[in-house]
Amino acid sequence: MANLWIKKPLDKLMTEAGDSEKGLKRTLGPVNLIALGIGAIIGAGLFTRTAAAIADHAGPSVTLGFIVAGIGCAFAGLCYAEFASMIPIAGSAYTYSYATMGEFVAWIIGWDLVLEYAIGAATVAIAWSEYLNKLLDYFGWQVPYEWCHSPFQSMAAVEGGVAVSGIMNVPALVILLLLTLVLIRGTKESALLNGVIVVTKVALVILVIALGWSFINPANHTPYIPAPTTMVDSGGVTHAYGGIMGVLGAAGVVFFAFIGFDAVSTAAQESKNPKRDMPIGILGSLVICTVLYILFSHVLSGMATVEDFRTHGREASVTYAISTYMPGYEWLAKSVTVAILAGFSSVILVMLLGQSRVFYSMSQDGLVPKAFSEVHPKFRTPWKSNWIFFVLTGLFAAFVPGDIVGDMTSIGTLFAFMLVCAGVWILRVKHPNLPRQFKTPLVPLVPILGILVCGAMIYGLGKENWMRLLGWLAIGFVVYFGYSIRHSKLNRPGGS
């Protein structure tokens, strides 16, 4: 009879980690990993989800939401760093939970990570499409509304015109295709491209903070924490606005912006010295980006009004704020638009990389079909997995609104982080003498705080997102009991 709670032996994990001849190339150093993390972290969360958090949840207190999200990520990041330095193999939270909490929990996390990486890539591709239209507008061009929005979105009639409904988001589909081809070509090439993009977009984020600070209108920060109330967004969903619940809701929304640091851990099997480099990559990228986030959101919420972000400034919000409230800086709006497009490209790249590596590990364990771990004979990348996830992410990006897929990504990631925090605590109790290159401080306090803060953000995202998460997990249970448990290598006689 199959054992739902069978654990993957740590010595087997270490053997897999050391087998680089047949596996993935070890080409990434600490600088590559920090750049990989920053490439995933600074992107759609800062440039699009910030506006949604301001408009629907917290107003100017969105900065407090970033602080709450950053604290939750710090706790989870410390737990990730310990795991990544102990178990240097591709797979992220999936791999860690397989060694500590058993196969069924590992499956739940692996399935849940599809929300984080694949659906996250779709979210960013949708945001990429918004900013592409801003760039094209400078040249007097536009992608027609119906071909850059989902069928669930519509534009009201203007000046007696006819209301227009979306059909599919073509630009989002195109950027996913191009970056899938880059990933198939090779991880080293992807990391080099990402490094160039990271330097450019970080420089422009700092430039916006420095120049935009003098255009902050104090009235836009008053009251800093709006009085508690409720509001209905453009999609008809009711949100708690203002007060503590507003801040928690904003934290859950902008949490999307912080998922890059755990994408670093999925590349552990491609790191030159994972025991040293993984904690540096995870925590280094997290610290740098948290500081930039708080400063940037303070400037953005101070330049434009809440009503701006609910209407004309909801899409391509950063470019809108600069163009409207920073006279004489049209050149900056144009430069930021180009940098954001490049930055979003690097985020999509890292998310697609992370997704294919999680399913690479799951496939090697027999939980998903062999196609997900088949490596290209020339490029030594999981090319079939890349194509499969292009189809999945493409469907979401082309036909689902950005707010829905963004919140699905956040809640899925938060749930995975809670299980990672629990896993560190469990492993400390059951295997206290295992060598750890990096040790999470104050265990069990830090894991408990990580679980509580991430749980509070899940609560703040509201019941609609809770139901979406439960629905996604229900589909995962069907797949696990219908396929995975019967093909699991550990559940076969002999466990191989």
Name which residue leads in pLDDT, 321 or 48.
Answer: 321
At residue 178 the predicted structure's pLDDT band, cuts being 50, 70 and 90, is very high
Name which residue leads in pLDDT, 282 or 218.
Answer: 218
Is it the case that residue 327 has pLDDT exceeding 80? yes
Q: Please state, in angstroms and as integers, the Cα–Cα distance from residue 191 to each residue in 24, 111, 250, 271, following that order.
A: 14, 26, 31, 12
Least Cα distance to 461 among 413, 410, 420 occurs for: 410
Mean pLDDT of 234-243: 75
At residue 322 the predicted structure's pLDDT band, cuts being 50, 70 and 90, is very high
Q: Is residue 438 part of a domain?
A: yes
Q: What are the pLDDT digits (tens) for 165-174?
A: 889 999 999 9
Q: Measure CA of the first residue to CA of the last residue in the chain; give whole Å.
A: 16
Q: Is residue 315 part of a domain?
A: yes
Q: Is residue 1 part of a domain?
A: no
Mean pLDDT of 382-408: 89
H/E segment holding residue 386: helix 383-399
Q: Is residue 494 part of a domain?
A: no
Q: Is residue 7 part of a domain?
A: no
Rg (CA), the chain: 22
Q: What is the mean pLDDT of the chain?
A: 83
pLDDT of residue 481: 93
At residue 159 the predicted structure's pLDDT band, cuts being 50, 70 and 90, is very low
Identify residue 462 by its one-letter amino acid code.
G
Q: Is residue 222 part of a domain?
A: yes
pLDDT of residue 348: 87
At residue 156 the predicted structure's pLDDT band, cuts being 50, 70 and 90, is low
Predicted model pTM: 0.79
Nearest-angstrom CA–CA distance, 267 and 88: 9
* CB-CB neighbours of 374 under 10 Å: 14
The torsion of the CA quartet 192, 187, 44, 407, rounded to 10 degrees, works out to -170
Is it the case that residue 360 has pLDDT exceeding 80? yes
Name which residue leads in pLDDT, 271 or 236.
Answer: 271
Best-predicted range by mean pLDDT among 22-31, 105-114, 262-271? 105-114
Nearest-angstrom CA–CA distance, 60 and 306: 8
pLDDT of residue 496: 47
Q: Is residue 260 part of a domain?
A: yes
Nearest-angstrom CA–CA distance, 88 and 230: 46
Nearest-angstrom CA–CA distance, 236 and 231: 9
Q: What is the secondary structure of 404-434 as a DSSP string?
A: HHHHHHHHHHHHHHHHHHHHHHHHHHH-TTS
Is it the case that residue 74 has pLDDT exceeding 90? no
At residue 492 the predicted structure's pLDDT band, cuts being 50, 70 and 90, is confident
The answer for residues whose C-beta is within 8 angstroms of residue 370's C-beta and 6 or more apart is 363
Q: Is residue 17 part of a domain?
A: no
At residue 369 the predicted structure's pLDDT band, cuts being 50, 70 and 90, is very high
Least Cα distance to 137 among 149, 127, 126, 129 occurs for: 129
Asked if 442 and 233 count as a contact pair (C-beta separation under 8 A), the reply is no
Q: What is the secondary structure of 247-314 as a DSSP string?
A: HHHHHHHHGGGGTHHHHHHTTGGGBSSHHHHHHHHHHHHHHHHHHHHHHHHHHHHHHS-HHHHHTTTS
Give the residue numbers spanning the domain of 50: 26-487
494, exposed or middle or buried, with CB in 10 Å at 0-12, 13-18, 19+? exposed
Number of domains observed in the structure of the chain: 1
Name which residue leads in pLDDT, 418 or 16.
Answer: 418
Measured CA angle at 200 (ends 198, 202), to 5 deg:
65
Q: What are the pLDDT digits (tens) for 287-319?
A: 888 889 999 999 999 999 999 998 888 888 989
| CATH classification at residue 66 | 1.20.1740.10
pLDDT of residue 14: 64
Asked if 258 and 11 count as a contact pair (C-beta separation under 8 A), the reply is no
Name which residue leads in pLDDT, 238 or 423.
Answer: 423
Nearest-angstrom CA–CA distance, 156 and 320: 20
Is it the case that residue 480 has pLDDT exceeding 70? yes
